[in-house]
Each structure stands twice: as C-alpha cells, then as structure tokens.
Amino acid sequence: MSVVTQPLRKNRISRKDDLKKIEDEMRQRIAVGAWAPGKMVPSRRDLAIEFGVDLNTVQRAMTPLLSDGTLRAENGRGTFVPFSEASALQNAQNGASAAGRTVTIGIAAYFNNDLAARGEELPATHTILKAIESQASDSGARAVFMNRWRRNEVELSPAHCVRELLAQGADCVAVVDVYSHPYVLSELRSMPDLKDLPVVYISAINHYVPCAHVYFDNRDAGYKAADLLIHAGYRQITFLSPYIGRWVDLRAEGARIACANRQEPIDFRIVPEDRRISIFEDDAPQRARESVCRFASSNGIHGGIIAAHDVVAVQVFEEGHKLGRNAGAHYGLVGFDDEPIAFSHGLSTMRPPLEAIGAEAMKLALSCMQDDRWNREISLPTQTIVRNTHTRLNEKGDC
C-alpha cells in the first residue's frame, strides 16, 4: 500500500509534513518488499521527481533511514536496502520451503579432536564453530560440520570440503581458518569457480579471496594495545614477537600508529629485528621461548611491552618473575587473543570477536543465497580486556 499517492506540493512554507510522508513511504516500500534487501533504491533525483519535491527534501527524508540502518549508502554506487539476518533468513527459508527442505549451512574447519580431548587445542576455532551453530539454530537453519582433521590420515582439503558439502545439499559453506594457514588460502584461491559459489571465508586477518570474507582487525588490536599502555603512563613501548607473519606486521603497525599519533614523544621499537620464526613450524614454541629468554637477558624487562600474542606474553611474565620484576608493578604487559592462560595470569589482552565473527558469517552465508554480490568483506574490531598486567602499581616502575 502506497502512502504517497499524489505529488507533494512544492513552495510550502513548511515541509515537515512532506518529510514525514516521504519517510513513511520509503519505509513502507521496504516493509512490503517493493525495495528488496540487497537492491539499490531509486536515485534521489528520481525520487524528487516522483514526489514532486526538491533534492534537499528527499535527502532530509532519507536521513533517518540512513541513520538507523534501514538504508545504506555506498560511495560511488548508490543507496541500498541492506541485508538483515531476519530478511536474509526469511528469503532463504522461503526458497528452501518451496523445495520442501530446511536451510543448511555447511561448516568446514580443521579441529584436532585428540588435542581437544587433552585440553590442548586452541579454543578460537571451537568458539567460532559453536557461534555459527548457535546462530543457525536460533535462525531456524541447520548447520552441518565437516572436520578436515583425520586421525593418522591426510587432512581433507578445503576445496574438497566445499564441494562435498554443496553436493550434500548445503546452501552455503563457511570455511573456518582462524589462523590463516597458507595451505587453506592456496587451496581456495586455486578453485576457478570460487567466485560463483556461496562460500564465506573466516580468518584472523584480511586476505584476498574471491568470496565473502569475515575477519577481525589486527591493526585495530595493535593500536588498542599500545593505547592501553600509553594511558597507563608508559612512554617506552616494545613490540615483542619471535614470530614472522602478516598478523604480526598488522599488530605492530597498529601499535606504531598509536605511538606516532601522540603529541608527547613515545619511544617505540620492534624486537627482535631478525631470526624470526613461522608459527607453523613444529618447534616454534620452544624457539619462541628461547627468543624471549634472549630478550630478557640482553634488554632487561622494563617499560611497556606488547607481546605478539598471549603465549609470548606469559613467557615474558615468567622470565620477568625470574628477574624479580613483576608485570603491573615494574613494567607493563599486554597480549592478544585472550587465550585461557591469559586469565590465569591476570593478563591484559585484546580479545578477538569470535562470537561476533560466527554471527556475521551466518548473516553473510544467508545473504549469499539471495544476492550475486558475494565478494564482500566484513572487518570486526577487537575488545580490550583490562586485567592487571598493563598498570604501574608503584612509583618504582619504569616508564
């Protein structure tokens, strides 16, 4: 039902009524599906002609819809009705119901059951898997998990899992690759038809993949880590990482930007400058500990320290304790990822939005079934977890 049936009169002393009628008309068109999710709405000029008003009136009437997210403006492209989880699910369920089935979301991930049984599997993958399953259940959809891990066998390739899940009837597949393994990226990029498949890639950092992509912002995490130490009073900040990788570079870059943005001078450095190792090497944990020991013995532990992730931060914590220096009293310490070990050590850290990633991936998966613009990226900020190790608890602390 249309609210605006006649062109609105121009030349009014007050256009308050015009604004309200145009806003109501646009909301009504969205509500009844005349302007469908994912579609571009008519231009402001076309709307001005249709409603018999000037461009400014249309813009003012549209502003509340842009502010509350009912419409989304994309620079250089136009204004769109965004996908919401509810609308995407409803459209997906309508299509599935017509075929006599329930919407199915396939999930492909590597999860080592043996390590999990011993409590040694890092929890990030599991957290995302549970978030996707929970979101699917709440939405009335069904989640099907395919584990790439195989005991005493070669792991399943991501490409195989994608094709197998789609062949089994999945409407969309979420590939969970929290640690951005080069093998997974290479496999996905080698799929010539990936751009035409309803696939959502989930990782810790942004990579080019010709499909929908959800990740958390490591540069933002590094910025917040440095900012936390700066606000605690530290003016000498060390970014410590024995590892090499893009995730390290992004976190270090964010920390460097935070230091550079301050009016007062901040002494920022990255160590070590060489002899870095890949986190995927078998002996990486031992070599990382050796690197932290060298740092502690040669540089001492003072000022504010940003460790590349929580495991390295705990190694710093333990080496400092051997030297009689305590985090939060004699120096500041911040980590990343909020691993379980961080809580037991009272470590201030940057928590990745794992649950939110699962929820956003589910929304993208549903929208992929309705829209051919699948190559979308969603970047999510990290959360600052304030515990004890970043503060300076006494006057003897070194800033």
User: For position 62, which CATH number holds?
Assistant: 1.10.10.10
Name the DSSP letter for residue 233.
T
Task: Report the pLDDT value the prediction gives residue 156, as an integer from 0 to 100.
Answer: 93
Residue 135 lies in a domain: yes
My answer on whether 322 and 360 are in the same domain is no
Identify whether the C-beta of residue 113 lies closer than 8 Å to the C-beta of residue 78: no
My answer on whether 374 and 342 are in the same domain is no
My answer on whether 177 and 236 are in the same domain is no
Task: Report the pLDDT value the prediction gives residue 292, as an integer from 0 to 100.
Answer: 87
- The closest alpha carbon to 141, from 179, 102, 86, belongs to 102
Average pLDDT, the chain: 83
Domain that holds residue 24: 16-80
Which pLDDT band holds residue 397 (cuts at 50, 70, 90)?
Answer: very low
Identify whether the C-beta of residue 132 lies closer than 8 Å to the C-beta of residue 122: no
- Tell me the pLDDT tens digit for each residue of 195-239: 888 899 999 888 888 888 899 889 999 999 999 999 999 999 999
Name the DSSP letter for residue 66.
H
Task: Report the pLDDT value the prediction gives residue 230, as an integer from 0 to 100.
Answer: 94
My answer on whether 273 and 345 are in the same domain is yes
Residue 44 lies in a domain: yes
CA separation, residue 375 to residues 92, 262, 372 (Å): 19, 37, 9
Token look-up 């606000």 returns 231
My answer on whether 212 and 299 are in the same domain is no
Identify whether the C-beta of residue 35 lies closer than 8 Å to the C-beta of residue 28: no
My answer on whether 222 and 342 are in the same domain is yes
pTM (2 d.p.): 0.70
Is the pLDDT confidence value at 77 over 70? Answer: no
- Could you tell me which residues come within 8 angstroms of residue 192 by beta carbon, excluding any fewer than 6 positions away? none
Of 52 and 83, more confident: 52
Alpha-carbon gap, residue 366 to 142, rounded angstroms:
12
Which pLDDT band holds residue 90 (cuts at 50, 70, 90)?
Answer: low
Average pLDDT of the segment spanning 385-389:
92
Residue 21 lies in a domain: yes
My answer on whether 291 and 336 are in the same domain is yes
Which pLDDT band holds residue 373 (cuts at 50, 70, 90)?
Answer: low
Task: Report the pLDDT value the prediction gives residue 148, as an integer from 0 to 100.
Answer: 95
Is the pLDDT confidence value at 285 over 70? Answer: yes
Task: Report the pLDDT value the prediction gives residue 182, as an integer from 0 to 100.
Answer: 85
- Tell me the pLDDT tens digit for each residue of 102-124: 788 999 999 999 988 887 787 88
Average pLDDT of the segment spanning 324-329:
89
Alpha helices in 99-232 (DSSP H): 113-117, 123-138, 158-167, 182-189, 218-231
My answer on whether 163 and 271 are in the same domain is no
Is the pLDDT confidence value at 386 over 90? Answer: yes
Residue 158 lies in a domain: yes
Average pLDDT of the segment spanning 136-146:
86
Average pLDDT of the segment spanning 24-37:
84
My answer on whether 108 and 72 are in the same domain is no
Task: Report the pLDDT value the prediction gives residue 110, as an integer from 0 to 100.
Answer: 93
Is the pLDDT confidence value at 98 over 50? Answer: no
Identify whether the C-beta of residue 332 lies closer than 8 Å to the C-beta of residue 54: no
- The closest alpha carbon to 246, from 223, 224, 279, 288, belongs to 279
My answer on whether 24 and 53 are in the same domain is yes
Token look-up 């190559």 returns 375
CATH of the domain at 249: 3.40.50.2300
Residue 94 lies in a domain: no
- The closest alpha carbon to 219, from 181, 261, 184, belongs to 261
Q: What's the domain count of the chain? A: 3
Residue 255 lies in a domain: yes
My answer on whether 308 and 360 are in the same domain is no
Residue 299 lies in a domain: yes
Which pLDDT band holds residue 75 (cuts at 50, 70, 90)?
Answer: low
Which pLDDT band holds residue 6 (cuts at 50, 70, 90)?
Answer: very low
Task: Report the pLDDT value the prediction gives residue 369, as an integer from 0 to 100.
Answer: 60
My answer on whether 246 and 337 are in the same domain is yes
Residue 9 lies in a domain: no
What secondary structure does DSSP assign to 178-198, as a single string? TT--HHHHHHHHT-TTGGGS-
Strands of the sheet containing 377-380, edge to edge, are 142-147, 104-109, 172-177, 199-203, 212-216, 377-380
Is the pLDDT confidence value at 5 over 60? Answer: no
